[in-house]
Structure 1
Amino acid sequence: MTEERQNAGEGGKSGQLKIFFGYAAGVGKTYAMLQAALTAEERGMDVVIGSIAPYRSLEDTALAERLRAMERLEEFDLDRAIRRKPDLIIMDDLACENPKGSRHSRRYQDIRELLKAGISVYTTVSAQNIESLNDIVTAITRVPVKDRIPDSVFDHADQVELVDLEPRELLERLRNGALAEKEGEHPPGTAYFTVANLTALREVALRRCADRINMLTRGDGAAHGDEHVLVCLSASPSNAKIVRTAARMANAFRGAFTALFVKTPDLAYMDEEDRKRLQSHMRLAEQLGARIEILYSDDIPFQIAEFARISGVSKIVIGRSAATRDHIFSKPALTEKLISNAPDLDVYIIPDADPGSSFYRKRHFGTRRHLVFSAGDILKSIGILLAASCIGFFFYNLGVNEANIITIYVLGVLVTALVTKNQIYSLISSAVSVLVFNFLFTEPRYTLQAYAPGYPLTFSVMFLSAFITGSLVMRLKSHAKQSAEVAFRTRILFDTNRLLQQARGQEEITSVSAGQLVKLLKKDIVVYPAENGVLGEPQIFQAGETEPDAGCISAREREVAVWTLKNNKHAGATTDTFSDAGCLYLAIRVGENVYGVLGIVMEGGELDAMENSILLSVLGEWAFALENEKSTREKEEAAVLAKNEQLRANLLRAISHDLRTPLTSISGNASNLLAMGQDFDEETRKQLYTDIYENSMWLINLVENLLSITRLVEGRLNLNITEDLVDDVVAEALRHVNKKSAEHTIVTESGEEFLLARMDPRLIVQVIINIVNNAIEYTPAGSHITIRSEKKDGTIILSIADDGPGIPDQEKPRVFDMFYSGGNPIADSRRNCGIGLSLCRSIIDAHGGELTVSDNAPHGAVFTFTLPAGEVQLHE
């Protein structure tokens, strides 16, 4: 139980489970448990009683008074106990079955939740309640035990205290009535009490405790050598005993444990009772730690031997009924064939005398298939027989030999086997074909007599030939059906893997996975996505045309889904938790991370082992896809966050340096003018005013660029596209360029008188201002700046050229990078934060154009960008 309590209560601390273990009722388990609980209470622990058996042995002691003072949870309620959350809770009888309507069907499942919630538990259990010991105890006492717990609960308990008592002393207590609820009554389950039985049970309990100590000493995962125990599963009533024996053997050898079921064509004819029994045997094997394997074959011994050889099995465990022949003329027993196919294996034959075993063998191996007649198959068989007779008449009239006509009837039997569903039709058709051939084509004709002495042999060969070919065809059909089923389920897995690799986003991953499961199971399913431990709204995926039952998403069903999410375990229909639910709920998980809950509407019985295996595989693929999608999304978000952090850092650098410098200049010049304005001559004052103005305009331009960059990063740069004259936009931009433009010669040239472009004029003005200001800053006074526009192939091309020092080739790829300021010594580096050209490219890209830089002849740089051309609208 340790692994099941990894996600415990607050702080990850789980409760401790202590089991008081005895070989039989009355040895004093409950008394020892309560004494230990009172001791714990004296040490300051918060102890409450959850459940306790009312035996007179407790009432007759001084312990009763102390117990009455202890808090008791009347009519134990699991949720109330978890909310109360004591340090220790007393839960007598670990193997007890819960009342109908409880969340869990068994008490040990309640205890699992208490432990996970961080509540320690004291409980009791007897040897007869341990699953793997059930057969041994039943053989000793001759009393079947219904209430049992998995061995893992016992083995993984934090403490097991053996409560022992001499058998004779126990019998004396029984005779004195110390164990009865009422005077004069014997307690339930004590009818087998004899010295011999109790001594044998005591030995079993001691050995089981020793096995647990050995397991803890060696370590739970330590396996001895290469031992691998294989048990063969079947629907036989005695198979449960075989599984338990194999489990004990695997534990004793500390080896691997596998349960194998070979699926044959006969499985299609298995009735519902046997199917349920087979499923229960598979669950039992899984509960006892076996890995379930399912194979398809007609030859069971060969398949078992091959699997054992490939998987490294060292020991095979089967029942005695499979090792014996029914009579001298029957086929060799499974064990004989198994030893013949795998002579190096150790085969253990376990006695499995069971009242139902002989009946099962007669029913399933005497008459292997149920005779199911249908009008359609009968008509098909009659039609084929009539057709064969007509063809026979045709060839008979042509003088064809009777031996050839026989083959027509054999062919008819073969076709009958192909088109009908049961072998009985081909069998009957074989017999009838012999009679019809005798009646129609042998002398004397139209009688069932035959003159030729060789005809009886001919009829016998004809019947055997028809029967054997019909049987082979039916077998081939069964194999083809099994192969198709396996191929379909394999394709489901491959398709799921392929589709999930192509899926993008949680919704598409969920849709693909749910669709594949609907295709596999032919059942409606409900998917609850989970985010931060909270279930989202359910999504229903239908298997048919009819609307799904609204009950599958009711409040009760959602409660089960929430429990599955919280506990990361199966729940709902066909399980022992919320077994009254309409759906089977499974967590879509990777390890302890749950990404959602899947609900399968369970109409028509539970899933078979192969469906369950593929379902778990698809769920694993589904969860991995969601985890990968989450990881990818988190990486993208981290990259965006890192980029934004870098942008924020650069903006802070711009604010801290590029804004502070002109602000300092403005404040300093203004302070000088205020303090000594009258002392300055006219030229000095004019220079101070000019500096203030230029720094202010530079700040305005920088703030505009910063605001535009912010809108771009946040995706809020909305374009207001209109058709405007390029010359007007250029003229508007030149009115707002740097005042130093007076030191340069700026010329505009246009290829046509009226050039219309589709653009947001406000943003294009900002682009031209940034590029022209860049040219002014990076070229010496007296330089020429030329703005040229032209139309070519439906595109407006606008270029801004200067004859300055130009841009080195190694810097051209980086001039449009944000916050790149280059190394030109002419520019005032204090006034360049490197966002202007980056903003320009972003604006032009948003317009569907392109911004490039190239060299001007003989020297200088040319910035060129394109815009979509507009069309002149003519109005009548």
Structure 2
Amino acid sequence: MKRPDPEILLSRVNNEEAKLNRGQLKIFFGYAAGVGKTYSMLESAHTLKESGIDVVVGYIEPHSRKETLDLIEGLEVLSTKEINYKNIKLKEFDIDLALERNPEVILVDELAHTNVVGCRHNKRWQDIEELLIAGIDVYTTLNVQHLESLNDIIQIIANVSVKETIPDKLIDLSSQLELIDVDPDVLLERFNQGKIYKKDQAIRAQENFFTKDNLVALRELALRKTTQKVNKEVEITRLSKGDTSVMPTSDTILVCVSPSSSSAKLIRTASRIAQSSLSKLIAIYIKDPSKQDISKKASKQLEDNLDLAKKLGAEIVLLHGDNIVEDIIRFSKLRNVTKIVIGRNHRKHSVFYRVLKKDIVDKLIDEVDYIDIHIIPSIAEGNKYKPKKSVGITSKLKISGTDILKLLIITLITTMSSYILKRVGFTQENIYLSYILGVVLVSAFTRGYGSGIISSVLNILLLNYFFTEPLYTLNIDDTNYIVTLAVFCVVGVITSTLTSRIQQQVEIYSKREQNTQMLYKVNRSFLRLSNKEEIINTGIELLEAGLGKSVVCYINDKRENQLLLYMNQSRDIEEELITDESERAVARWVYNNNKTAGSFTDTLPGAKCFYAPIIGMDETLGVIGVLCLDQKVDNEDIRLIEAVVAQMAISIDRENLAEIKKEASLEIESERLKSSLLRAISHDLRTPLAAISGAISTIIKNKELIDESIIDDLLKGVFDDTQWLIRLVENLLSMTRIDDGKLELKKTHEIVEEVISESLGHIKKRIKNMKISIDIPDEILFVPMDAKLIEQVIINLIDNALKYSKEGSEIKIKVYEEKQFVVFKIIDDGPGICESIIDNIFDRFFTGEIKYADSRKGVGLGLSICKSIVNAHNGTIEAKNNKEGGATFEFKLPKEVS
């Protein structure tokens, strides 16, 4: 058994994941009105309701068929949305009401319907896509003539141009396609009985569409489309199991697009080929610099063709070049293209034309032997692409007024120079060279071939008239001059042609270099950015510079759950146009649905901006908006937007990953600290608890046998151990509040003397054998503080001094004012602090190596908590050794509330 294709497996997994997150679409598919699509859909709805599934009717087209209308009874029907259009009230599907109702299944009739102006989307299929994204299953109906890829075939079969079409991808992505089929004779009988259309509609339909031949052809198309859908599902299943013996799936289809209305047929044909072979589709347009001034009509047709290709799922590629065949072949090699779809019209050429000049199709066939060429015939139409009329025979021979002026000036200078050369005594050959130089200069400083050719002919005439015997006539006495002048003319024409071609190549490569430089600039601009705001502002600047339009950016703030607006503050004039609530609502829709929308699109076209989502690795990061008040965003603009947005997404993802890594590091550090804490307190808790347990056990068992003094000593030990445990627990609780960010300060103006007195009261039993001296100013000192927390600081510092001081030692507490602070000092006469650890003593879980009186080592939290509390008061704390011995711990608190 062969190894399964990993790409097919991935496709299948992605499809399964998509099904889990989005609603499923079921299409009741037919070949004409009246086959029973809506009837079958309503029957299925009743079956679902009987099964306990929440099903509602979102919209059903008004039918004159009683059997269909009767089936609506018993189902919940959502109210429609009334829209006033040209003083007529029209009813449309209310998508907002459907999203708010959020049923399990919703019925929405007529998938290909075009919405009235004023709805959120131009097409109903876009409404249904939004419902699917929201996780709602949708049942809908569709006729075969509404498929975009079959549009040209339908026009041939029925002689009707269908305007309401849907992309074929909806059929491909639908979870189920149910064919509703009846015999054409049965359908015609229903039609004749008036069960399908009203009388006036029936007459028109019978004249234009409802004939048996048309219905048979449409039925065949519907059956074929259903078969293709089934075959594709079978292929995906078969290939995922490793069976690739029948159909390879590596084809790439390239369709050549031009500014001609016939290109639409090419694109649809290529789309059908790609769908039938599960292939990738690429639409390419090669722009010739010599034909830059195509008419507005042709430019509009080109945009429509590229939009159609995009709608049918093609990748759009725009290139610049003057040799279309070479560019197509070069791109095909680069992208491993296996089939090229190209058009050829029925224009008949003369024998002379066919002998001397091959068209693009013939050249392609001659040049490639490893790519299939699919030639699609088309009829030359009146609205076929034509460049603007110009002064020459073709665009390459046209001459502008500026070029004529340059030609005359250069020719005049050349003639004057030649006359001077002759008077000085130079030979005739030098004069010929002078005129050839003139032809080269004309070709170099003008555009196209025309100026150079005219310059060659004009220079021959001037050379003959002024410098060939007999002078000042066009006659030639010496027959040798005839050959010379003829050769001169040929050389001049060839020179001008080659020079013009070099100019065109320079323009092409200059354009390609500009595109490359643009992409390089985009990539380089984001390379070293390490701040989200810088990334966003850079993206806005690049787009505004490249598009010449105002740009805004909305980035999602997860904490606030809203889109934050970024824009170029220097464009104040347009700020009101692009920051109102309606525009923000469009941006929010684009963010939620991960699709383009806004100006010149089919979704929310009334917006002032064109909006595109910024898609990251796992989520949508934000939205880019481009202001389009007077000019739409064309395909080249979209390429720039996609390039910048892609780099923005990569850079923002990089920053998000850095933040996640930082958070992960903090969590790891937190876990490490928790582990250190558990290891530290496991021993330190066991020691006092064991001492307490042993002392109490001794008293209980030997109460009558031991002296009162021994019992007092044991109880004193128990008391000391419990006090130590209390302080440890208080420190642990304080540390937890600090780590959780719940250390709340309740500052009030407190008297320093009372705070110190209260602190000493808490540990008075610990300082019985120690001397405590207090040095406080005579005047009353008020300091804004949280008294309980500062008391804990003082207790911890005194407790630390007690640990390292011998019995009978003196601990000094000194308080005084220093500028804007009140300084607290706790001074002991112990062994001091080792210089190697003095910078680390306020770190969490750090303990000194010196043993103290009761030989109980702490967990290293007391001083760390002191530092956190003092810092929370906007104060400072430090430790230093005294010159005469011992250590001083000093902390400062501000005298004013900050």
Q: Deviations over 1:368-396 (max 9, x none)?
A: 4695735x555444433333334333333
Q: CA deviation at 1:527?
A: 0.8
Residue 393 in structure 1 maps to residue 382 in structure 2: no
Write the mapping of 1:342-381 to structure 2, written as runs, cut at 5 A: 342-356=368-382, 360=386, 367-368=394-395, 373=400, 377-381=403-407
- Structure 1 stretch displaced more, 523-532 or 246-255: 246-255
Q: Tell me the SS of whatever aligns to 1:536.
A: strand
Following superposition, the deviation at residue 492 of structure 1 comes to 2.8
Q: Secondary structure at the match of 2:378?
A: coil
| 1:156 corresponds to | 173
Contact 2:346–2:377 under 8 Å retained in 1? no
Quick one: which of 24, 28, 33 aligns to 1:25?
Answer: 33
* Runs of 5+ unmatched residues, structure 2: 1-10, 81-90, 241-246, 700-706, 746-762, 772-791, 812-826, 892-898
1:304 counterpart residue number: 328
Contact 1:586/1:598 (<8 A) preserved = yes
Q: Among residues 217, 220, 225, which one is paired with 1:200 in the alignment? A: 217
Q: In the TM superposition, what are the counterparts of 1:133-148 in structure 2 within 5 Å?
A: 133-148=150-165
Q: Describe the superposition over 1:323-378 as per-residue Cα deviations: whole angstroms up to 9, x where unpaired.
A: 9866324422223322332222221212223524866599899734695735x555
Aligned to 2:816: none
Cα distance, 1:153 vs structure 2: 0.7
Distance in 1 between residues matched to 2:30 and 2:264, nearest whole Å: 24
Cα distance in 2, alignment partners of residues 343 and 184 from structure 1: 54
Correspondence for 2:69 among 64, 67, 88? 64
For 1:784 and 1:550, how far apart are their aligned partners in 2? 73
Equivalent residue for 2:24, pick from 16, 22, 32: 16
1:435 deviation in Å?
3.9
Distance (Å, rounded) in 2 between the aligned partners of 1:553 and 1:369 = 47
Alignment map for 1:311-350 (pairs within 5 Å) = 311-321=335-345, 327-350=353-376
Contact map agreement 1:705 1:839 (CA 8 A) in 2: no
The aligned counterpart of 1:102 is 119
Q: CA 1:41–1:803 in structure 2 vs 1: closer, same or farther (change >3 Å)?
A: closer
Q: Deviations over 1:94-123 (max 9, x none)?
A: 112111222111111111122333443332
Q: Classify the secondary structure of the residue corresponding to 1:598.
A: strand
| Structure 2 CA distance for partners of 1:781 and 1:273, relative to 1, 3 Å | same
Give the Cα–Cα distance (whole angstroms) in 2 for the partners of residues 20 and 700 of structure 1.
75
Counterpart of 1:400, as a letter, is F
Match of 1:538 among 565, 572, 591: 565
Task: Tell me the secondary structure at the aligned position of residue 538 of structure 1.
Answer: strand
| Distance change in 2, residues 1:402/1:340 (3 Å) | same
Give the equivalent residue in structure 2 for 1:468: 497
- SS of structure 2 residue aligned to 1:832: coil
User: How far did residue 44 of structure 1 move?
Assistant: 5.2
Cα pair 2:613 2:620 within 8 Å, conserved: yes
On the 8 A contact 1:323/1:336 being kept in 2, the answer is no
Whole-angstrom distance in 2 between the partners of 1:263 and 1:615: 20
State the alpha-carbon separation in 2 of the partners of residues 174 and 355 from structure 1. Answer: 36
Kindly indicate whether the alpha-carbon contact (under 8 Å) linking 1:418 and 1:477 is maintained by their aligned counterparts in 2: no
Alpha carbons 2:295, 2:387 under 8 Å: kept: no
Change (3 A) 1:483 1:446: farther
Pick from 810, 834, 847: which aligns with 1:821? 847
Shift of 1:35: 3.6
What's the secondary structure of 1:539's corresponding residue? strand
**C-alpha contact 1:658 1:831 (8 A) present in aligned 2:** no
Greater shift in the superposed pair: 175-184 or 830-839: 830-839
Aligned-pair RMSD on alpha carbons? 5.6
Q: 1:774 to 1:309 in 2, by over 3 A?
A: same
Q: State whether structure 2 residue 272 is matched by structure 1 residue 248.
A: yes
Given that 2:444 and 2:500 are in contact with CA atoms closer than 8 Å, whether structure 1 keeps it comes out as no
Q: Which moved more, 1:264-273 or 1:565-574?
A: 264-273
Q: Which moved more, 1:684-693 or 1:584-593?
A: 684-693
Aligned AA (1:36):
S
Structure 1: stretches of 5+ with no match in the other structure = 673-679, 719-735, 745-765, 786-799, 868-876
Q: 1:83 to 1:7 in 2, by over 3 A?
A: farther
Instruction: State which of 272, 287, 307 in structure 1 corresponds to 2:311.
Output: 287
TM-superposition CA deviations, 1:581-604 (whole Å, max 9, x none):
221101112155122111011256
In the aligned structure 1, how far is the partner of 2:810 from the partner of 2:663?
46
Tell me if the contact between 1:493 and 1:614 (Cα under 8 Å) persists in the aligned partners. Answer: no
TM-score when scaled to structure 2? 0.73
User: CA 1:124 to 1:587, structure 2 compared with 1: closer, same or farther past 3 Å?
Assistant: same
C-alpha deviation, 1:213, in angstroms: 0.5
The residue aligned with 2:627 is 601
CA shift in 2, pair 1:163/1:444, >3 Å? same
Residues 693-715 of structure 1 deviation map (CA, whole Å, 9 limit, x = unaligned): 99999999999999899999989
Q: Report the equivalent of 2:195.
A: 178
* In structure 2, C-alpha distance between the alignment counterparts of 1:64 and 1:739, rounded to whole Å: 92
Between the aligned partners of 1:324 and 1:273, the Cα distance in structure 2 is 25
Is the partner of 1:318 in helix, strand or coil?
A: strand
Partner of 2:525: 496
Give the percent of matched residue pairs that are identical in Structure 1 and Structure 2: 31
Match of 1:73 among 66, 79, 97: 79
Distance 2:46 2:708 in 1: 101
Task: Give the direction of change, closer, same or farther, for the CA distance of 1:447–1:209 in structure 2 (3 Å limit).
Answer: same
* Residue aligning to 2:552: 526
* TM-score, length basis structure 1: 0.75
Give the partner amino acid of 1:313: V
Give the drift of 1:477: 3.5
Aligned pair in 2 of structure 1 residues 642, 146: CA closer, same or farther (>3 Å)? Answer: same
Give the direction of change, closer, same or farther, for the CA distance of 1:740–1:19 in structure 2 (3 Å limit): closer
Larger mean CA deviation between 15-24 and 399-408 belongs to 399-408
Query: Which residue identity is paired with 2:581?
Result: A
How far off its partner does 1:80 sit? 2.2
CA contact (8 A) 2:256 2:283 kept: yes
Greater mean deviation of Cα atoms: 141-150 or 64-73:
64-73
| Alignment-mate amino acid for residue 69 of structure 2 | A
CA shift in 2, pair 1:741/1:83, >3 Å = closer
Alpha-carbon deviation of 1:129? 1.1
Task: Tell me, in whole angstroms, the C-alpha distance in 1 between the residues paired with 2:145 and 2:32.
Answer: 7
**In the superposition, relative to structure 1, how do residues 659 and 705 fare at CA in structure 2: closer, same or farther (>3 Å)?**
farther
Counterpart secondary structure, 1:830 = coil
> Who is 2:535 aligned against?
509
3-state SS of 1:186 partner: helix
Matched, 1:228 2:252: yes
Partners of 1:121 and 1:849 in 2: how far apart?
67
Q: Match of 2:42?
A: 34
Match of 2:4 in 1: none
Aligned counterpart for 1:82 among listed residues 99, 102, 118: 99
Quickly say closer, same or farther: Cα 1:391–1:717, change in 2 above 3 A: farther
Bigger shift: 135-144 or 68-77? 68-77
Measured in 1, the distance between the counterparts of 2:358 and 2:298 equals 24
3-state SS of paired residue (2:138): strand
CA separation of 1:591 and 1:836: change in aligned 2, threshold 3 A: closer
One-letter code of the match for 2:371?
Answer: L
What SS is found at the alignment partner of 1:320? strand
Question: 2:143 aligned with 1:126, yes or no?
Answer: yes
> What letter corresponds to residue 24 of structure 1 in structure 2?
A
1:784–1:559 Cα change, 3 Å? closer
Aligned equivalents of 2:97, 2:566: Cα separation in 1: 32
Aligned partner (choices 589, 597, 603) of residue 615 of structure 2: 589
The DSSP-based 3-state class of the residue aligned with 1:344 is coil
Q: Is 1:323–1:334's contact at 8 Å kept on the other side of the alignment?
A: no
For residue 797 of structure 1, what is the aligned residue in structure 2? Answer: none
Contact preservation (8 Å) 2:55, 2:103? yes
Conservation of the 8 A alpha-carbon contact between 2:439 and 2:492: no
